[in-house]
């Protein structure tokens, strides 16, 4: 018998509304029946902090959590989890696990690589369009009974003719470039330590830029699609943002901590960034006072943040 | 000397914020200097109703207005406009002019065909993504200090794998299909009286459906890209909407009156439509009590309406 601890988000009434919502406490990724038929024990909770969680963790041999509502498996917690053999991410990205400690303790870390790359790529393209076309304040006008086209048109652009760049040319970054190509961007750029093959570059119609700063200086729209490593933590800080083209849009659907939150908010306020959007935060859930909830540009716009949801669409769960 | 009457939206403080906002009363489409140098007279107003406008119209030889804030040139008004020779639309679509009467009175009607097809196509794709990926309630959570992934994920889908259909296979309809193709839809369909060439169909990867009802019965996402004619007025009524696949999304960036507003709101409420969005209304500006401002699906979502702005981005004005 294996003791499995599952920590997804709570579905509440929404789990009843939509039984296909698998990744929640109620539907348990569809695992209970199978696990129990195999003689294993499944404990499920959305409480990922406090003494109850810590005591469950001490009993667990396998812990499964999601990037949308991650149980943070810090060094302290891993050291106390004497029975733990495996940390599974139901999704992509295991940065909520202290990987060095897991390695030291010989605890395995698995994720469902590639499971939701399409959903994330779609979300990034949506965010690009929402920011560049100034959707949010326009929809607000509708709900507030207003009609002031000039107020939104003054900050409304097309993505056609723009230079679009991805930091990271992996599965998600290249999918984003492929999806924006028929919008006739001026150029598609990517920065990665590894080159794509010449054939793949030709197929996508993109060009690699050797130095990140050089790419950022040319791009109107930048999308972040790099894993979260020590080397990418806090990468987009004041210094790097200052190398971007003034008034660019920045989209981050990778991990919140790749950007320094206060520096992003300040750049939006100053006009260095025209907009920022995505679905990743640190920590998650984002506290009510997280600056990305309320930050805007000088027009009170330019914010397209949502909770971490881009990999948990019903189609991505299916 | 020609007497020109220009009726765009007012820019207010926004015209000062952004001098590239050409299509407003302050910047007058950049026409004043040139018109006056040629000895003509330009009168500009955003007041498109009331006795002042009607008296200006009686003096005008040319009237220029925009789809975003249209001066409605009804039969009554055209009959009184004794000097009028030409109605110009600074944009696409002249349905604000009574074309039969204009024809009878030998008043010319011109528009800037093709001027903003890209901007409209981008807007339609954005609206599709915003609806299917359930952006609006998710962004609301951010602003309201909330974090409830299940509440938005239960109604969040990918456009990958969906059947996407356009009513109208003209310049905008085909541009939309081209832009969604790399998202790997299950199928791209179009309905039009005229077929595209076999080569063009192959290039886009789309298939014509002979009967509108047949197409609507297969499509998960429907986008309306047909001109406003007598034959398309009120086309999407209760009867036609009932032929759509249950729970489909409908996007309309063509003209508001192609859809019956009460029938759209009722279909959203009943679940026949999962979402509706776009930027066209009748009349414009939309009154504060227009049902499309507040209509939602059973989850309080599924509305992606904005004021008429998709053809007036700064790039489309340039």
Q: In total, how many domains does chain A have?
A: 2
| Model pLDDT, residue A318 | 67
- Going by pLDDT thresholds of 50, 70 and 90, the confidence category of residue A115 is confident
- The CATH number of the domain holding residue B45 is 3.40.50.720
CB contact under 8 A, B135 and A130: yes
Select from B111, B140, B166 the last residue of a domain: B111
Domain that holds residue B190: 117-317
Question: φ, ψ for residue B168 (rounded to 5)?
Answer: 110, 120
Query: A171 and A205 share a domain?
Result: yes
Spatial separation of the C-alpha atoms in residues B316 and B279, rounded to whole Å = 15
Query: Is A103 among the catalytic positions?
Result: no
Question: Closest-CA residue in chain A for B177?
Answer: A182
Mean pLDDT for all residues in chain A: 95
Q: Which of B251, B285, B157 minimizes the C-alpha distance to A18?
A: B157
Domain stops at, among B77, B111, B145 = B111
Interchain pair B69, A312: CB under 8 A: no
> Are residue A107 and residue A161 in the same domain, yes or no?
no
Q: Are residues A89 and A155 in the same domain?
A: no
Give the residue ranges of DSSP H helices in B25-145: 32-37, 51-59, 75-80, 99-104, 117-132, 135-143
- The answer on A42 and A173 residing in a single domain is no
Give the Cα separation of B224 and A101 in Å (integer).
55
Residues B75 and B138 reside in one and the same domain: no
pLDDT tens-digit readout, A226-284: 988 888 999 999 999 999 999 999 999 999 999 999 999 999 999 999 999 999 999 99
Same domain for A44 and A131 = no
Asked if residue B310 and residue B263 are part of one domain, the reply reads: yes
- Residue that finishes a domain, picked among A59, A92, A111: A111
Please state, rounded to an integer, the average pLDDT across all residues of chain B. Answer: 95
> Structure pTM?
0.94
Determine the pLDDT at residue A49.
Answer: 92
Rounded to two decimals, the ipTM of the complex is: 0.94
pLDDT at B231 over 90: no
Claim to verify: residue B100 and residue B124 sit in the same structural domain: no
pLDDT digits (tens, 9 = 90+) for A130-178: 999 999 999 999 999 999 999 999 999 999 999 999 999 999 999 999 9
Distance from the Cα of B82 to chain A's closest Cα (Å) equals 31
Identify whether residues B136 and B225 lie together within a single domain: yes
Mean pLDDT of B60-69: 95
B48 and B144 both lie in a single domain: no
Count of A-B CB contacts under 8 Å: 215
Q: Do residues B284 and B163 share a domain? A: yes
Q: Is B56 helix (H, G, I), strand (E, B) or coil?
A: helix
Q: Same domain, yes or no, for B184 and B210?
A: yes
pLDDT band at B191 (very low <50, low <70, confident <90, very high): very high
Q: Which residue in chain A is spatially nearest to B13 when comparing CA positions?
A: A151
């Amino acid at each position: 018998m294996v003791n499995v601890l599952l920590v997804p988000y709570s579905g509440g009434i929404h789990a009843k509304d939509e039984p296909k919502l698998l990744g929640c406490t109620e539907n348990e990724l569809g695992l209970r029946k199978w696990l129990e038929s195999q003689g294993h024990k499944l404990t499920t909770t959305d409480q990922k902090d406090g003494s109850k969680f810590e005591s469950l963790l001490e009993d667990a041999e396998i812990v499964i959590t999601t990037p949308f509502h991650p149980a943070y498996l810090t060094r302290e917690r891993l050291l106390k989890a004497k029975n733990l053999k495996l940390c599974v991410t139901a999704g992509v990205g295991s940065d909520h696990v202290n990987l060095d400690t897991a390695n030291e303790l010989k605890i395995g870390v698995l994720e469902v690589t590639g499971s939701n790359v399409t959903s994330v790529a779609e979300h990034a393209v949506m965010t690009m369009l929402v920011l560049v076309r100034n959707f949010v304040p326009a929809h607000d006008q509708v709900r507030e009974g207003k009609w002031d086209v000039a107020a939104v048109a003054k900050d409304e652009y097309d993505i056609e003719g723009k230079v679009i760049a991805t930091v990271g040319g992996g599965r998600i970054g290249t999918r984003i470039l492929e999806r924006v190509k028929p919008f006739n961007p001026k150029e598609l750029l990517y920065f990665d330590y590894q080159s794509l093959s010449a054939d793949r570059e030709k197929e996508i119609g993109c060009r690699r830029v050797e130095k990140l700063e050089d790419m950022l200086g040319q791009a109107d729209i930048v999308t972040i699609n790099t894993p979260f490593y020590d080397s990418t933590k806090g990468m987009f800080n004041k210094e790097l943002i200052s190398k971007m083209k003034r008034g660019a849009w920045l989209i981050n659907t990778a991990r919140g901590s790749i950007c320094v939150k206060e520096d992003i908010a300040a750049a939006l306020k100053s006009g260095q960034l025209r907009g920022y959007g995505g679905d990743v935060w640190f920590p998650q859930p984002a506290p009510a006072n997280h600056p990305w909830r309320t930050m805007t540009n000088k027009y009170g716009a330019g914010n397209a943040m949502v909770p971490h949801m881009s990999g948990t669409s019903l189609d991505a769960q299916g």
